[in-house]
């Protein structure tokens, strides 16, 4: 089925009528020494979850904990030791106060299309003196060697206030946002990104040290070519399909267009992937001296960008107003959630931090209706419970205060 056919099906009226049961839902969440939570057990239904409470109560911390159920560094991209519970300070602030714990854990029981799955992850203290703490992942009680295994069970996409500047910030922020969307459709993408970035760092270090051993460079550049072209191809596939969906729009949210911009992206549009790998190897080898002098790597998908336009106004997203940029982000996230649901037969977890405060009443209602119709277990936060009144009877509304949670 083509991308346009998938997106057309996704937005057909008979595909969005009524509420579908969530195919991916956190049924129990347990935290230990995570941010401001000493111990927490939260039992959930499959419906959307709304977390309300004062600023600093720990609402975003819960979203961050959920984000660790999927591959990656989590919603805040924090250092693992920063997540350990601290003695004092704002609950949502990774302050410099001394930690009260040296490890943390997130455990969840989820309903998935494959049945009930138990996922556990956290920071494990050093096993011996002088060792380093490390993140561990267990699925159904068994250790797994890589976070990539999480992607076979859980995809998570989030919108936070920090992403409100996505179209104004540098290309690296847009690539990071895109890679989360790609991983939801291509779980192996996280592994390709990690392998490419590791080789990229090692090559840069060797260049900075003045190392000219061709064997080292050939090996690293081969890794960069293989994983770099693979991740660029996955980005291209996701963007093509998401572009088709985003052009259709979601209710009152604006329609958008998406496209990749970069050298490797251009190659993949005109040649086979294996030829693009050979081209990238050759360009990297030829650029070693120049890259050493410039202190950068001049070729590769780490230089690509995601170009987004407001289709209804025919202008780059970055030139829209703050409200228009926010609306485009929500539109992309909803189109992506529907695309993932259709492509993988399971929706992603949608983590929407402070989402309602910056939308007008019409768009809030449309967002809530879409989330319920999708059957997505969306987790939303806000300070004002009244903004979520349209979800009464359709979502679990919980109040967060001082490391505890209670029903509203």
- DSSP three-state, residue 77: coil
* 236: region left, alpha or beta (phi > 0 left; psi from -120 to 50 alpha): alpha
- Residue whose C-alpha is closest to residue 211's, from 134, 292, 311, 157: 292
- For residue range 173-201, what is the model confidence (pLDDT) as tens digits? 999 999 999 999 999 999 999 999 999 99
- For residue range 316-366, what is the model confidence (pLDDT) as tens digits? 999 999 999 999 999 999 999 999 999 988 889 999 999 988 889 999 999
> Do 250 and 366 contact (CB within 8 A), yes or no?
yes
Please give the model's pTM, rounded to 2 decimal places.
0.87
For residue 273, CA distances in Å to 179, 186, 229, 233, 305 come to 19, 17, 7, 8, 19
* Angle, vertex CA 217, rays to CA 213 and CA 222, nearest 5: 150
Domain architecture of the chain: domains with CATH? 165-321 (1.20.1050.90)
Which pLDDT does position 133 carry in this prediction?
A: 80
Distance CA 50, CA 147 (A): 27
SS3 annotation, 361-383: HHHHHHHHHHHHHHCCCEEEEEC
- For residue range 242-301, what is the model confidence (pLDDT) as tens digits? 999 999 988 899 999 999 999 999 999 999 999 999 999 999 999 999 999 999 999 999
* pLDDT tops 70 at residue 160: yes
Percent of the chain with pLDDT over 90: 76
Collect all residues with Cβ–Cβ distance below 8 Å to 286 and sequence separation of at least 6: none
Which pLDDT does position 90 carry in this prediction?
A: 52
Which pLDDT does position 89 carry in this prediction?
A: 54
Please provide the average confidence, as pLDDT, over all residues in the chain.
Answer: 89
- For residue range 126-159, what is the model confidence (pLDDT) as tens digits? 777 767 788 999 999 999 988 889 998 999 999 9
């Amino acid at each position: 089925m083509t991308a346009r056919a998938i997106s057309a099906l996704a937005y057909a009226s008979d595909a969005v009528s009524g509420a579908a049961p969530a195919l991916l839902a956190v049924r129990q969440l347990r935290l230990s020494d995570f941010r401001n939570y000493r111990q927490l057990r939260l039992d959930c239904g499959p419906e959307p979850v709304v977390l309300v409470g004062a600023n600093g109560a720990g609402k975003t911390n819960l979203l961050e904990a959920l984000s660790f159920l999927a591959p990656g560094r989590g919603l805040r991209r924090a250092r693992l030791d920063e997540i350990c519970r601290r003695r004092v300070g704002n609950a949502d602030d990774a302050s410099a106060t001394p930690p009260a714990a040296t490890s943390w854990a997130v455990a969840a029981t989820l309903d998935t299309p494959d049945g009930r799955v138990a996922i556990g992850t956290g920071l494990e203290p050093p096993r011996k003196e002088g060792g380093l703490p490390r993140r561990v992942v267990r699925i159904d009680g068994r250790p797994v060697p890589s976070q990539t295994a999480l992607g076979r069970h859980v995809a998570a996409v989030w919108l936070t206030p920090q992403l409100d500047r996505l179209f104004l910030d540098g290309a690296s922020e847009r690539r990071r946002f895109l890679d989360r969307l790609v991983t939801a459709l291509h779980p192996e993408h996280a592994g390709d990104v990690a392998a490419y970035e590791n080789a990229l760092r090692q090559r840069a270090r060797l260049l900075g040290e003045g190392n000219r051993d061709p064997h080292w460079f050939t090996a690293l550049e081969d890794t960069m070519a293989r994983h770099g072209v693979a991740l660029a191809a996955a980005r291209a596939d996701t963007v093509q399909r998401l572009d088709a969906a985003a052009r259709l729009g979601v209710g009152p949210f604006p329609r958008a267009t998406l496209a990749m911009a970069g050298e490797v992206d251009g190659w993949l549009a005109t040649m086979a992937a294996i030829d693009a790998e050979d081209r990238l190897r050759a360009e990297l080898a030829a650029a070693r001296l120049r890259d050493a002098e410039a202190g950068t790597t001049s070729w590769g998908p780490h230089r690509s960008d995601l170009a987004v336009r407001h289709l209804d106004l025919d202008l780059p997203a970055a030139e829209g107003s703050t409200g228009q940029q926010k609306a485009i982000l929500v539109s992309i996230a909803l189109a992506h959630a529907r695309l993932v649901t259709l492509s993988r037969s399971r929706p992603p977890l949608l983590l929407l931090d402070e989402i309602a405060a910056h939308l007008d009443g019409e768009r809030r209602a449309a967002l809530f209706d879409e989330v319920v119709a999708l059957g997505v277990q969306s987790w939303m936060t806000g300070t004002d419970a009244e903004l979520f009144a349209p979800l009464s009877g359709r979502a679990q509304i919980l109040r967060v205060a001082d490391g505890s949670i209670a029903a509203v």
